[in-house]
Amino acid sequence: MLIPLPERLREHVARAASPVPAKDAATIAVVRDGAEGIEAFLMRRQSSMAFAAGMYVFPGGGVHDDDFGSVDWVGPTPEEFGERLGCARDLAHALVVAAVRETFEETGVLLAGPDADTVFGDTTIPEMTRAREDLEEHRLGFAEFLRRDRLVLRADLLGVWAHWITPAFESRRYDTRFFVAALPEGQRIDSVSREADRSLWAPLTRVLERVDAGGAAMMPPTVTTCRELAEHRADEILTASTKRMVTPIEPRIVEVDGELYLQTDSQEHL
């Protein structure tokens, strides 16, 4: 399947000949079951943002140097995540930490708990709100936060879903691993990152209807992930993630009958 190349990107096509390096990043599609089926938490990025301005996205962000540091961890090992993600152990470790850290910073959803069998409950309490602010302002490291609060990262609550790379012609490029997680019991979202001007829980069937009608803007990786997640329930999402073949998807430009389109090797993704 092909999609027409957006007009805003046509002037950047020449950049594909000498692309900028893609930075490692991670994102989590946080889901829950609702009256109309599976719902996902989405944020609309501020119009002033340099990348994906005005787009609805899942929480996430770039990998930091600190994400490579040691953290208390339960669940699949970094080596096992590396096999699923197709990368070295150290990078797999950093991607998982970045995904959990960014999601906590931006939404308050925390995939961590006192031990291997529990998760932290209400993260809207003042202590956790301050921790999120300190993390976002780099006054506190995520590993330090976990140690201070005697928490372990619950990697078993995280599933690997997809791997997308920003096209070569973009001025900002990310090598992004998409994870999935069900909203932990007892947690809720009451505030989001300053990078977003709107956020909501939305049934994915409704989201896709709006996107298809032009009422909401999303990048192809987000749209594709929403379509795939819509076929499942939140309580089965981790099991579904283990059955997926995850390979890098990097859209490229092709010309058909004089028109420019975006296409991937796995054409069903667009």
Specify the pLDDT at position 8: 55
Angle at 195 between CA 6 and CA 220, to 5 degrees: 30
Instruction: Take residue 126 and report the two structure tokens written for it.
Output: 């003042």
In whole angstroms, what is the distance from residue 40 CA to residue 204 CA? 7
The CA distance from 250 to 264, in Å, is 6
135/105 Cα distance (integer angstroms): 7
Number of domains in the chain: 1
Task: Label residue 268 by pLDDT band (50, 70, 90).
Answer: very low
* 259 domain-assigned: no
- 198-233: pLDDT as tens digits: 788 999 999 999 988 888 888 889 999 999 999 999
Q: What is the extent of the structural domain holding 53?
A: 21-247
- Report yes or no on 113 lying in a domain: yes
pLDDT value at residue 217? 84
Domain-embedded: residue 153: yes
The reply to whether 125 falls in a domain is: yes
Question: Nearest to residue 143, comparing CAs of 68, 241, 195?
Answer: 68
Asked if 143 contacts 70 with a C-beta cutoff of 8 angstroms, the reply is yes
Whether residue 178 is contained in a domain is answered as yes
Mean pLDDT of 12-24: 74
Q: Which two tokens stand for residue 48?
A: 């002033």
For the chain, the average pLDDT equals 88
DSSP 59: S
pLDDT digits (tens, 9 = 90+) for 143-152: 999 999 999 9
In a domain, 257, yes or no: no
- For 223, the 3-state DSSP assignment is helix
pLDDT tens digits along 115-171: 999 999 999 999 999 999 999 999 999 999 999 999 999 999 999 999 999 988 888
What one-character DSSP code corresponds to residue 19? P
Does position 270 have pLDDT exceeding 50, yes or no? no
Do 241 and 161 touch, CB atoms closer than 8 A? yes
Cross-strand bridge partners of residue 159: 180
CATH number at residue 85: 3.90.79.10
